[in-house]
Structure 1
Amino acid sequence: MVKIRRHMAPLTRTSGRGNPCTYITIHETANRGRGAGAASHARLQAGTNSRQASWHYQVDDKEIVQSFDDNVKCWHAGAKANSQSIAIEICVNSDGDYQKALDNAAALVAHLRKKHGIPWNRVVSHNFWTGKNCPTIMLGRSGQWDKFIAATDPKGATKVSSSSGSSSSSSSSSSSKSVSQMADEIIAGRHGSGHSNRQRSLGVNNATYQKVRDLVNQRAGVSTPSSSRPSKSVEAMANEIIAGRHGTGHAARQRSLGVSNSVYQQVRDRVNQKASGGGSSGGGKSISQMADEIIAGKHGNGHAQRQRSLGVNNTTYAAVRKEVNRRS
């Protein structure tokens, strides 16, 4: 592994120390500009980063630069991720060697896994926490994520380019894996997003994938869509969506509610109708100000707690939550 260079940043855009380091979260910078390597991003964090964001390490094809101690709660993938994971940004600058950057990142993950005792299934993507398509390049290449995970084994780390992916993290032998193992991998974000993409990545038939999907939903506390009459009213489901209880994106919300297309359309129409009305202003604060406070940890954890602390109605809190997610 290349030497880790420290270029430490102030704790201004973090929630301070206390991170137990139980996960590692992988990101890509999405900055393809020439010169946008690890040194550039480290300088950004140490200086005047205009974004309400922070991460522990940045890695390119030449070096690894650390900006924060591992136990700092950086702002990179939402409150749950921020409070317990180490964030790594892989640089994608056009004048760099992306494959070499992956090798360096995998070596860093192997080092951190050994240091903190982190198992392979707790090395996750940004996508795992928020559904955002990140790390975009890695998740977009068939089998790339599995090769990356295989190369992070502290007992025998290899280069991503030479990894066969034949370890327990590989998707090439899904037929020999249990439904529970495949569900673990999907929850860890190792098969991308979207059911068709996940099924292709796992290499299983429709019947097997349905079992995997059902188990994933069971662990997440949701059910698959059903044409049966929902137990909740359209009004109740609309209120839950506005309160942020069913995630983001129509497909995810419909799955979480477990309703048919026609019922979900009614819910969606009611949400839009309710969202068009006014709402409490949180003591005169703007949506941006309230989002800043949540990111800074001033309103505790959990949406119900944060909404009570801000003193806003469901519609206003949904707008605040959307802004927090956008910045993450």
Structure 2
Amino acid sequence: MSAEKEFNVEEIRKMDPMDVIDLSMTSKEFSEFLTIHKPLKANLTWILGTVHHYSTPSSIPINLPKGTHRRGTSRIFTFNERLILELKFLEEHEKCVRFYFGDQGDTVRQTNVLKYGDPIKMAREEDAFMVIGRPNMEILTRDRHDLLVLECISKHILEIVDVQEFHLRYGFLWDFKLEQSFPFKLTKRFESINVQTRNDDQVAKRDLRRLLKNANIKDLELCIELESTTSLLKPLVFICEALKIKEGDWVKTDDLMGATCKKIYVDRMEMSMEDTVRIVKSWKNGTRFGNLESMEIKISNKANAQRIVKRVTDGKIASLYLKPHLFRMDVQ
């Protein structure tokens, strides 16, 4: 009997999404039917990062696993990788399903195998699938097998689910290039990207530039520390609808001049009065910020000022506010 006769789209839409995913991993015919019809719609989020904690042992070992441990004066800092694929199903279900990694020592009752390249073992929980990862999640293997597994799972999901939106939350991984990673091989269109670094992790400006150039991002949020460089580099270009930057001491006015955003928010940016005048003049003359609806930049200026500016090209009005530590521009 053909897959068309065995399965029914409307019946599948009534099923629990967990059951649909579960069956797709064990039935080739069912998986093929889903690939053709994609009856379920969902938004997909990748969460890639680390969970930080520390211990104070009586003695610190000489050799610590590279990438997951760092030595303090009296503590060991451990960085466990957090790799998650999250699906928020739409319409009838409005249910969230997650894939996350556990090590081989975790107790599981029953496992299913997704045969996508190398077999991938997963244990079903109430609203999640625990992927059986490397033997010890605190020891990072050089082959980055878990990332390869997550890529395979992502490909499978994209084949059987009608994904409406892609979201990415990145909190830094050791020896990892975000802009070259598998999410950007699978899609160039992101509803939102959130990048956040911690401790002494830094992002190279050339890598950030490549990310901005190669991805179509609607909402971009950055809380990062940029690598310092003595070389003269071209300004960044932010092409997105909404831009939010925290800890923005690395942002230059030139980086904002090419932005196509409707909304811009930058916290702790170093900015002179000449820079604010330059931004306002470029908006007033219609040469920059054509899509702008609001701009808020938290700076260290001590002056207070309020002004109304009219753009010469189309007559739009902007209200300007300059207060201690804040510059804001709202377009009416």
Whether TM-score is above 0.5 comes out as: no
| Structure with the largest fraction of helix | 1
Query: TM-score normalized by structure 1?
Result: 0.29
By relative contact order (CA 8 Å, sep 6+), the higher-ranking structure is: 1
Query: TM-score normalized by structure 2?
Result: 0.29
